[in-house]
Structure 1
Amino acid sequence: MTPTVSKWCLALVLLVAGRCGPTLAQDDFLYGTFPDGFIWGAATAAYQIEGAWNENGKGENIWDFMTHAYDGGISDNSTGDIAADSYNKYLDDVAALKETGVNFYRFSISWSRILPTGRIDQINQDGINYYNNVINALLDNGITPLVTLYHWDLPQPLQEIGGWLNEEVVDIFGDYANLAFSSFGDRVKSWITFNEPWVQSVLGYGYGGNAPRIVGSGQTDYIAAHNQIKSHARAWHIYDDNYRATQNGEIGITLDSGWSEPKTQSAADIEAAERNMQFKLGWFAHPIFSVDGDYPPVMKEYVARHSAEEGFPVSRLPEFGQTWVDYIKGTSDFFGLNHYTSALAEYSVWEGNWTSYDKDQDVSTSADPSWPSSAAPWLKVVPWGFRKLVNWINNEYNGVRLLVTENGYADLGEINDVDRANYYTSYINELMKAINLDGCNIYGYTAWSIIDNFEWAAGYSQKFGLYSVDFNDPARPRSRKYSAQVYAQIIADNGFPAPAEN
């Protein structure tokens, strides 16, 4: 039986999540509501839920290729071939979204489903039809579509010409974006170009744990990032030049970041934590959102110094040149933020004559042993870091308009998922503090994710869904979790109104 939530149960969750004392300290709970017009959503990504990996004209992408390899690199040896079968069961997902009461649904288009080779010369109408059906079903149910163009699933034929290491893909991505705008932009009014280009660059093209498994940290990851930033700008300009006036939409990018807290209050650790923020978030945000554009100065300085020490004639960090700096700067209508956890940062020199993105920073990170864990080893529960992060962004980028595009918790798939409910309650409360107490310019929040899905290299060993999916049942039934009910109540209340006094 699916547990139900009541006002009394929600109040208990609020207590567990951190309400204490008459004064508002770092972990205290704040009663209150979000501003009028604040929007609530939930998210997924194409490869993680759709399945139908080779049906109805879809081409192969880099995750199809990787998971089908002899050593696919997936912890449970699974694939996304069927996943949650949302290609066939998208109406079930829409029903879950409607039951939760969200205003919008963030999902991604599978590039290979509409362009099997990645290029514009072969358009798959079945793929276009599928996304038309999803979009129309959302709108019919009063849910706004928020569409991500790229969520890590590059068409494999493009990887065979170098993928994000080949600057030719910048124009190819522009063609793909143009097709999406022309096909869906009459109904889609909010677009995201890239999801977490840091992950695609560092894990896919640096350390090689994710598709396409390129190893070359400190070199190939910088090139992949460089071309993704250029591709983002190309898509933004295509929309701005050709579609904005008639479609009246907006287009931005989603970047991921934890919060870096100094391990000690030494000057070296405080500087290390700030440097870690610039290398992680500033790497992608500074070229787009800063007044000056280009990569963060500290990143340019440290990569150049390490490159010289290692015998490179020039910095391993590519240069944009002024034309590209000007072309990229300002190319986002909002700041999409994915956040899950925080870390402690300390000054640390990595010895050896080898290249590494992490070594370039002179920083080491760790977790406080007291922070609660999740089913994902990297995801520690640190709600106060969320508030600090959005304040950092607000200060760094001049009060930029921010949309939280992912936030969520990993467990093993419990239906009575109290820990996830506590996570959402405490993190959303910190977000409300950032708005109501600190004045941060945040206009919406997105839970990751509406349903359990294929969690990349972790396969199905970790669950993030508000709804459970039975991956052992060919019908892939969805079941509502306790956290979905708690989140629905938060949405209905637009926050955390104080309990009525008896």
Structure 2
Amino acid sequence: MLQVTYGGWQNASMIEYFGNYSDLCFEAFGDRVKHWITFSDPRAMVEKGYETGHHAPGLRLHGTGLYKAAHHVIKAHAQAWHSYNKKWRRKQQGLVGISLNCDWGEPMDFSDPKDIEAAERYLQFCLGWFANPIYAGDYPQVMKDHIGEKSAEQGLRVSRLPEFSLQEKSYVKGTSDFLGLGHFTTRYIAERKYLSQQGPSYHNDQDLIQLVDPNWPELGSQGLYSVPWGFRRLLNFAQTQYGDPPIYVTENGASQKLHCTQLCDEWRIRYLKGYINEMLKAIKDGANIKGYTSWSLLDQFEWEKGYADRYGFYYVEFNVRNKPRYPKASVQYYKEIIKANGFPNPREVETWHLKALETCSTNNQMLATVTYLEGCKCFPRIFLSQPPQGKL
């Protein structure tokens, strides 16, 4: 209704509507909810909703629509925070933040200043786009410069990136009690050494190219690779960039490799071990990390991928009416991590790994009695291979 009548997040009236919705939620649930996230991964929402059209509302307003939508989203977040701070905080004693997803961008060539600048630009267009206004009061300077220059080259009198007024900058700045951070993978970043022949777009505005190392372990979802060291670097970047905020890791996980039933998800065990270890290193570095949430508890609906990408600890049989659930090997492994609050020693962790994989046989037999395994030619097996390599 709001999309049809007002144009959704292209219309500034959404700020007030979102504020009213937030107040309703605070009033109804604030006695129980103590951590509020206003928006989860708004970059994906505005990019895929108003740039590529892959998500609702399916618009392709290249190089303009996503910036306008993001501008309104940031102000809507600020309004929700101020409302909670003024009306509800004293009574409910909760916290309000935002959750932003970003891959780490590593310079392809550290000896090339252009690649270093491109990697910084990548992070600012990804994380800084929303975080910088909330923590510093305005968009990153590199975004303003690049989008402004390209807008002028395209014959526009004003930048395609909206501006905050002085009053809006003051209103938006400081509107976060914590930073939610989602992260899945890493990219090498290099300066784009050629002029793009395409028109305005979010990606052309960045003037960079993204690369991957062919030796990185590939995960199930397209473009995702297991690169644990990038997680530590992103956490430290956020910590120093935004003034030591409390950080809650809101999303981090691995999808299955093949489109068939896989309860012996050894790749997810390796992913969890690598990424959680890097988070623990970031904590030792000084990052103020308050919590970690693995993505996700259950196989579920994943954006435009539907039910194809399975990130869950529990396999869900969607083709059966009552949607039975079956624990994957990673369930047992993750339970041990939670119990120990980390990794005690290599020998014990190796035992966790092997015991987790041994549970697959029983679970697979149980699953096989009620389903055809999604019609796949690959069937669940126990992969008792070498334990994960690398130091704890």
The aligned counterpart of 1:195 is 40
The whole-number CA distance in structure 2 between the counterparts of 1:195 and 1:396 is 20
Q: Which amino acid aligns with 1:248?
A: Q
Q: Matched residues in 1 for 2:131 and 2:228: separation?
A: 23
Aligned-pair identity (%): 47
Separation in 2, partners of 1:231, 1:304: 24
The equivalent position to 2:184 in structure 1, one of 340, 349, 355, is 340
State the aligned residue count.
343
Say whether 1:312 aligns with 2:312. Answer: no
Alignment of 1:29-428 (within 5 A): 156-265=1-110, 266-290=112-136, 293-348=137-192, 349-352=194-197, 354-411=199-256, 412=259, 413-428=261-276
User: Is the Cα contact below 8 Å between 2:3 and 2:57 reproduced in 1?
Assistant: no
After TM superposition, give the deviation of residue 158 of structure 1 in Å: 3.5
| Kept after mapping to 2: 8 A contact 1:202/1:217 | no
Q: In the aligned structure 1, how far is the partner of 2:195 from the partner of 2:224?
A: 24
Contact 1:210/1:456 (CA < 8 Å) preserved in 2?
yes
2:318 is aligned to 471
Q: Secondary structure at the match of 2:62?
A: coil
Q: CA deviation at 1:459?
A: 1.4
Paired AA for residue 163 in structure 1: G
Provide Cα deviations, 1:390-427, integer angstroms capped at 9, x if missing partner.
01111111211111001010114411111111111110
Deviation at 1:258, TM superposition (A): 0.4
Contact 2:105 2:122 in 1 (8 A): yes
Partner residue in 2 for 1:448: 295
Per-residue Cα deviation, 1:160-199 (whole angstroms, up to 9, x for no partner): 4201101101000000000000000011111000001100
| Structure number with higher helix proportion | 2
Aligned to 2:305: 458
Residues 61-80 of structure 1 show CA distances to partners (whole Å, capped at 9, x for unaligned) of xxxxxxxxxxxxxxxxxxxx
Provide the TM-score with structure 1 as the length reference: 0.67
Contact 1:167 1:227 in 2 (8 A): yes
Partner of 2:100, secondary structure, is strand
Structure 2 equivalent of residue 481 of structure 1? 328
Higher RCO structure, 1 or 2 (CA under 8 Å, sep 6+): 1
The correspondence for 1:430, drawn from 258, 269, 278, is 278
1 CA distance for matches of 2:4 and 2:75?
17
Q: How far apart are the structure 1 equivalents of 2:66 and 2:34?
A: 32
How far apart, in 2, do the equivalents of 1:344 and 1:159 lie? 40
1:115 corresponds to: none
**SS at 2:190's partner residue?**
strand
Question: SS state of the match for residue 24, structure 2?
Answer: helix
Structure 1 unaligned spans of 5+: 1-155
Shift in Å, 1:352: 2.7
Change (3 A) 1:313 1:469: same
**Structure 1: how far apart are the matches of 2:198 and 2:334?**
49
Structure-1 separation of matches of 2:209 and 2:125: 12
Q: Is the 8 A contact 1:415 1:480 kept in 2?
A: yes
Deviations 1:253-307 (A, max 9, x none): 00010000111121111110001100111000000113xx100011000000000
What is the alpha-carbon distance in structure 1 between the residues aligned to residue 300 and residue 263 of structure 2?
A: 15
Q: Which runs of 5+ in 2 are unaligned?
A: 349-392
Distance 2:5 2:66 in 1: 17
Cα deviation code 1:87-107 (max 9, x no counterpart): xxxxxxxxxxxxxxxxxxxxx
**Corresponding position of 1:99:** none
Structure 2 Cα separation of the partners of residues 183 and 263 of structure 1: 49
Quick one: which amino acid aligns to residue 333 of structure 1?
D
How far off its partner does 1:353 sit?
A: 5.9
TM-score, normalization: structure 2?
0.85
